Each structure stands twice: as structure tokens, then as C-alpha cells.
Structure 1
Amino acid sequence: GEGPGRRTVSEQPFPQHHDDEFGSGGFRHDLRALLIQMAPPYGFTLATFTAAGVTTYENGAPHPLEILLFLVGAFAGYGVLAVIAGALRRMLTPQGITMQGWQMLHLIPLAVVFLVCWGLASVVPAPICWLTAGMALTIGYLTVLTFELAFLMHSRLVRS
């Protein structure tokens, strides 16, 4: 509650800089912080291009309605993962992701997306291949990345 000597939010002093805050550790520190923050969205961007690229390679340039199927598949895949995670039932507060070095490269999830989407594009006919590519992209990348980061975090904790 508010008692004598307690400040309201508007009266709080500006936060002090800490050594781990962006802008306080020099270029290399800030670049590292930015790379860690951008790694999952950047990896997902690469995975999206990969899924669309191999599907285009196998089935030709998509019609606009096939592009819509790709988006619907990606959206549906995200929805499936949200249901599995229980994210639709309660309020969640995002937590920071801890990564270092090569963990930011996400080679395993990207390789899985490449292989799964290429395999699906080879056997699933158009236009349905665009729907499956979108789903495989989202489910594959985010699921494998989750397992990879959890495994690497567990390995790091075991070693320390």
C-alpha cells in the first residue's frame, strides 16, 4: 500500500543503468544483446523462405490463393502450438531466452524445416502442398527450437 515515505509510480526516479543493459557495454556487448534478441525471429524468417523456396521448387510459382493457403497453414500451425502450450487459457508473461554462441544460429530447426518441407512438397500435390508447408514451417521450426534450447540449457546447467 501507500504509506509514509512510499513513492507512487510517477515519482519513482529513472532506473539506473546496469552493466547488462543495452547501450551500457559498448558495441560488441550491444550487438551480442541484439543478436540474441533477434535470433528466433530471424531464424523464423529464414525458415519461412526455406519452406516457400522448396515448395516453389517442387510445385512451381504459387497462385495467390496458394499463398493464402500457406498463410492459413502457418496460422493453423501456430494455433496448434498455442493450444498445446496452454497459451489460450491464461495470461502469459514472456520470459527472456538465454542463448550464447552458436545456439543463436538455429541450424537444427532450419535443417528440419528444409527437409520436412522439401519432403512434403515432393509428395503432396498442389494446392494442398502450400497448406502443409505453412503448417510444417511453423510447427517444425518452433517445436525443434524449443527442444534444442531446452536441451542446451539443461546441458549447460548439468555442466555447471
Structure 2
Amino acid sequence: MIEGGCRCGAVRWRLDADRLPLTYACHCLDCQTWSGSAFSQQAIVAQDRFEGTGPVGQFDLPSADGLRISYQMACPICFTRVWNTNSSRPGRVVIRAGSFDNSHRLTLAAHMWTIRKQPWLKLEPAVPAWPEGPPRADEFYRLIGAPVMGG
């Protein structure tokens, strides 16, 4: 079992897995704003292996075209954003890397939206990176070990 939670400990989650999932970094402007940093780092896992507990607050963020909704889950006490789901990716949960109890042991497997990355940030050449989103979702999911579920 892998566990994590918010900064204050009121919201916790558990992932039924025997090893830490691979993560990716997104450098888009939304992720920079959401994280308050140069990028956000997260892992995509199967929803049926994930369980969150505690007083979770939810913020629903519709896409610009109104076709998708991102359901952001955060602690209403310390305001830590912990995980999200998305109407366009059923069966998957995106866990914020900083919420893992062992976040210092996570491995970064990819970068996306590097066209928006901060100019001072140097990326490891061996880690796959895309100027925008990955060209094919199914290939991206396989690269980071996320559930493919038909793409």
C-alpha cells in the first residue's frame, strides 16, 4: 500500500500498489498557476486502486470549450491540492506528487508543455519531453505506467 495526504493530515489517500508510480511534469501556465511553482508533478493511477478519505473539498474546473470537467480535490483546512479526476479520463486519478508520503522517492518519466517552461529550468535530456501535450495519449500512459483503458 502506498499512502499520502495533505500538509495538515486531515485528507489522506491510499493506493493499492506494490511500488511508487512514475510521474510526469507539466509546465503549462495552468499548472504553474495551480502549483504556485515552475511546473506541477503528478502520477496517473487507476481509480479502482485509489481511495481518499477526510474532509475533501472539490472544485470543478470546466475546459475552455466546455467539453470536459476537471474535478480538483483539496483539503479545505490547509488548502493543499491532493488529487483530481477528469471527465475525459474515466477510471483514472491524478495524484499530486508532493502529496505522496515518500515523494522524495518518485521518479520523473516525462515532461509536457515545455514550450511554457521557465527558461532557467534545465531538463534531463534522457527524459522524454514534448513542447505541448504528448502526441498520443496511449503512448504517454504506457510511458508513465498509467492505466491505458482504451486511450
Please give the range of the TM-score, normalised by the shorter of the 2 chains.
under 0.3
**Could you say which structure has the larger radius of gyration?**
1
TM-score when normalising by structure 2:
0.23
Name the structure where strand makes up a greater proportion of residues: 2
TM-score when normalising by structure 1:
0.22
Name the structure where helix makes up a greater proportion of residues: 1
